[in-house]
Amino acid sequence: MKLTISILYFFFSLFFGSADIPEEIVTALKQGKSTELVKYFGEKVSVKISNQEDVLSKSQAEANIKYFFEKHAVKAFSSSHISSMNNSAQYITGSLETANGKFRVSILIRNNLISQFRIEDDNE
């Protein structure tokens, strides 16, 4: 019985896992598209942009990120690390280059939804 459950779990995680979500998030960041990012937000998300941090609704978070992308046109984004902390959480970090400077981005994904999104000044 345990073997059957283990096999079912393995196939379920293969077909319904979240392996492709980080690449779609990375693509949205590269293009500076807040509407694509927000597709992966939970109903409440912790957002930090520069020195402003708060737990926001999905629509509030989208408005803040859209404003950031309008103010800082994206030139490039490169992910420096994508890791799985367990079966239900992933972490993405990277560098965002904009027309107005460089920023460090970190994203926490839990159960296939972004629960934490941070854009901080890159102080190299």
**22-41 confidence digits (pLDDT tens):** 788 889 999 999 999 999 99
Structural domains present in the chain: 18-121 (3.10.450.50)
Q: How do residues 85-117 score in pLDDT, each as one tens digit?
A: 777 789 899 999 999 999 999 999 988 899 999
Mean pLDDT, rounded, of the chain: 83
Helices (H), 1-124: 2-16, 21-31, 34-37, 58-71
pLDDT: which is higher, 40 or 1: 40
Q: Which residue matches tokens 């934490």?
A: 116
pLDDT digits (tens, 9 = 90+) for 35-80: 999 999 989 999 999 889 999 999 999 999 999 999 999 999 998 8
In 3D, which of 106, 108, 109 has the Cα closest to residue 120?
Answer: 106
Task: For the full predicted model, state whether its pTM sits above 0.75.
Answer: yes
C-alpha span between 80 and 48 (Å, rounded)? 19
112: Cα separation from own chain's centroid: 10
Distance CA 21, CA 112 (A): 7
Residue 14 scores a pLDDT above 60: no
pLDDT exceeds cutoff 80 at 17 = no
In one letter, which amino acid is 118?
Answer: R
- Asked if 91 and 2 touch (Cβ cutoff 8 Å), the reply is no
